[in-house]
Copies of this chain bind each other. A is one copy, B any other.
Amino acid sequence: MARLGVGLIGTGFMGKAHALAFSAAASVFDLDRRPHLAVLADADARRAEACAERWGFEASTGDWRALIAEPRVEVVAITTPNHLHAEMALAALAAGKAVYCEKPMATGLADARRMAEAARGRRTLLGYNYLRGPAIGLAKSMIAAGELGEIVAFKGRFAEDYMADPAVPHSWRCVRALAGSGALGDLGSHLIGFALHLVGEVQAVSGEVSTVIAERSTARGKAPVENDDQVHAVLRFANGARGVIDISRVAWGYKNHLAVEITGTKGTLAFNQERLNELRLFRKGDAGFATILAGPQHPPYGAFSPAAGHQLGYGDLKTAEVGHLLAGLAGSDALYPNFAAGLVIERIAAAIERASTERRWVDLAEL
Residue ranges of A at the interface with B (Cβ–Cβ < 8 Å): 1, 13, 16-17, 19-20, 23-24, 26-28, 30, 34, 53-56, 152-153, 155, 157, 160, 162, 164-166, 206-208, 210, 212, 230, 232-236, 242-246, 248, 250-257, 263-268, 273-277, 281-284, 286-293, 295, 304-316, 359-361
User: Measured between C-beta atoms, what is the minimum distance from A318 to chain B in Å?
Assistant: 10
Q: Which B residues are CB-close (under 8 A) to A312? A: 311, 313-315
> A290's contact among B153, B166, B290, B315, by CB below 8 Å, is which?
B290
Instruction: Give the chain B neighbours of A246 by CB distance below 8 A.
Output: 153, 155, 244
CA distance A314 to B316 in the complex (A): 9
Q: Are A290 and B284 in contact (CB under 8 A)?
A: no
Residues of chain B within 8 A of A56, CB atoms compared:
26-27, 34
Contacts of A256 in B (CB 8 A): 293, 307-311
- Indicate which residue in B165, B166, B311 contacts A274 across the interface (CB closer than 8 Å): B311
Query: Which of these, B28, B34, B155, B315, contacts A304 with CB under 8 Å?
Result: B315
Q: Are A252 and B267 in contact (CB under 8 A)?
A: yes
Smallest CB-CB separation from A242: which chain B residue? Answer: B232
Seed contacts A27-B54, A232-B242, A288-B292; 6 additional CB < 8 Å A-B pairs: A1-B54, A152-B230, A208-B234, A256-B309, A256-B310, A312-B314
Q: Which of B162, B242, B263 contacts A307 (CB 8 A)?
A: B162
B253 A267 Cβ-Cβ under 8 A: yes
